[in-house]
Structure 1
């Protein structure tokens, strides 16, 4: 049966302390607390820099069985390399500890820069490099370069599991049937992004799951969702689930602290 997972993008926000996080909660307990309230978290630190294997091990140990992390792919690959010549970057990304999450490894998100237009060949070549199982990812990770010292490498997997990928496109040229067809051909989820109208919102499923990022419907990163808005989104999510699609939803409207409260309110609609 299809399922829904609801969470937040990141969890270390000082403004949440004394609000979402109870007053006096130790900072080191914040992940564990958030994981008790939600069913998934999107790790965005992986976008900015390679993490250490011990960080992934720690995150895994601090969350309950059945919990899942989504990972935001490295901006080195999406924004600097712009998806070109990405094999070594991918090897480093997977070698830096990603696989230490084990069964808690959820979808991997590639957020493209707003200036990157739809180019079928560029995207296809990148998609062909992506390992589709944790075993393939471990094999790719073995090709990491010297940027990773050996004591910062975790290039193994305890169990073979499929790896899902999603792409968040931010250039209007992606809002065409050809882009949808390309994503579907490569079994890549087309992210449904609610961005207060700033970027395209593409809602056609292209894989066996749907990845949704809630950035704010009125003001990007800053506005909260009303009960009526959450009801409308929940109905859309139920429709996808009825089609047999798993749904992953992450609230990124964190600027004023709405994200965790909106996430919990949405999750309540499915419990």
Structure 2
């Protein structure tokens, strides 16, 4: 029984010296993040496929139970829209190979212009992907959430591929107007979609966006605490990523979410202890 929690990144300016030691060389930052959380969203792979040497460094900094949910490159999902993308896909799979089992799922985030009429393209794409990985799909067109026929169509394609549907829950964020610069910026960029809470596989993945105010973030995730506890009791192994507009306290919040679920499922193992930000003293 495992619940993995994490953030949208493993390094952030506001964490330095407060949550994670500072200064740290680039090749140490992920190791220190992994003391706080045991999963991370691989958003950087959307913008550029990393070198194999970079990925080898990620593997060295994390234990075998750490989870990467790595986004497929935008050239595949957004520019070529899942068609004629064999060359960039080969480069991507070769680059991430050193992670081995740490690659929990490969995340296919599709643009808002990807509609239910495009689902056959997704079905063909999923059938051609290497079988040694798990896959998770995030869609953003409202019809997938609001039209039962479109929902069933996508679910059937994902079920055939044993792939998960990744919800990005922004309902708490959009429940009241923004009150900070970070919230105002996120207000213009984040998707505003209906809530989805169903899991398709034994390893559901949830992305949750709260507010910069901790109390509002915690209040908004209460449904996910109960749902996640229920998944664990069913024998599932979920991964939950906690976002806020400024992400200043995201690792703390991710750990708090884990603690709240653990209070309901006492058999759940505790997270690792963070690496101290400074030298230990006797007094």
TM band (smaller chain): 0.7 to 0.9
Which of 204, 207, 232 is 2:201 aligned to? 207
Instruction: Please give the secondary structure, in 2, of the residue aligned with 1:202.
Output: coil
Instruction: Please give the secondary structure, in 2, of the residue aligned with 1:83.
Output: coil
Deviation at 1:17, TM superposition (A): 2.1
Which residue number corresponds to residue 144 of structure 2? 174
- 1:69–1:106 Cα contact (<8 Å) kept: yes
- 1:170–1:200 Cα contact (<8 Å) kept: no
Are residue 267 (structure 1) and residue 266 (structure 2) matched?
no
Deviation at 1:178, TM superposition (A): 2.0
- 1:38–1:267 Cα contact (<8 Å) kept: no
Q: How does 1:58-77 map to 2 (within 5 A)?
A: 58-77=57-76
Q: 1:181 to 1:268 in 2, by over 3 A?
A: same
User: 1:94-124: per-residue Cα shift (whole Å, max 9, x none)?
Assistant: 02x2111122221111111112112221111
* Residue ranges of structure 2 left out of the alignment (5+ in a row): 146-150, 175-191, 263-269, 271-283
CA distance in 1, matches of 2:247, 2:88: 34
Deviation at 1:51, TM superposition (A): 0.3
Deviation at 1:223, TM superposition (A): 6.0
CA distance in 1, matches of 2:221, 2:143: 29
CA distance in 1, matches of 2:72, 2:142: 21
* Residue ranges of structure 1 left out of the alignment (5+ in a row): 134-162
Deviation at 1:126, TM superposition (A): 0.9
Which of 80, 105, 108 is 2:106 aligned to? 108
CA distance in 2, matches of 1:72, 1:40: 14
Deviation at 1:258, TM superposition (A): 3.4
- 2:6–2:39 Cα contact (<8 Å) kept: yes
Which residue number corresponds to residue 253 of structure 1? 244
CA distance in 2, matches of 1:101, 1:256: 26
- 2:144–2:154 Cα contact (<8 Å) kept: yes
- 2:203–2:238 Cα contact (<8 Å) kept: yes
- 1:111–1:167 Cα contact (<8 Å) kept: yes
Which has the higher Rg, Structure 1 or Structure 2?
A: 2
Which residue number corresponds to residue 239 of structure 1? 230
Which residue number corresponds to residue 79 of structure 2? 80
Instruction: Please give the secondary structure, in 2, of the residue aligned with 1:94.
Output: helix
User: 1:30-50: per-residue Cα shift (whole Å, max 9, x none)?
Assistant: 211110111111221111001
User: 1:55-89: per-residue Cα shift (whole Å, max 9, x none)?
Assistant: 11111111234222221111111110111223333
CA distance in 1, matches of 2:139, 2:58: 28
CA distance in 1, matches of 2:222, 2:195: 19
Q: 1:26 to 1:61 in 2, by over 3 A?
A: same
Q: How many residues align?
A: 235
Instruction: Please give the secondary structure, in 2, of the residue aligned with 1:209.
Output: coil
**Could you state the TM-score of these two structures normalised by the residue count of structure 1?**
0.79
- 1:7–1:250 Cα contact (<8 Å) kept: yes
RMSD over aligned Cα, in angstroms?
2.0
Q: 1:12 to 1:172 in 2, by over 3 A?
A: same
User: 1:152-172: per-residue Cα shift (whole Å, max 9, x none)?
Assistant: xxxxxxxxxxx1111111111
- 2:202–2:238 Cα contact (<8 Å) kept: no
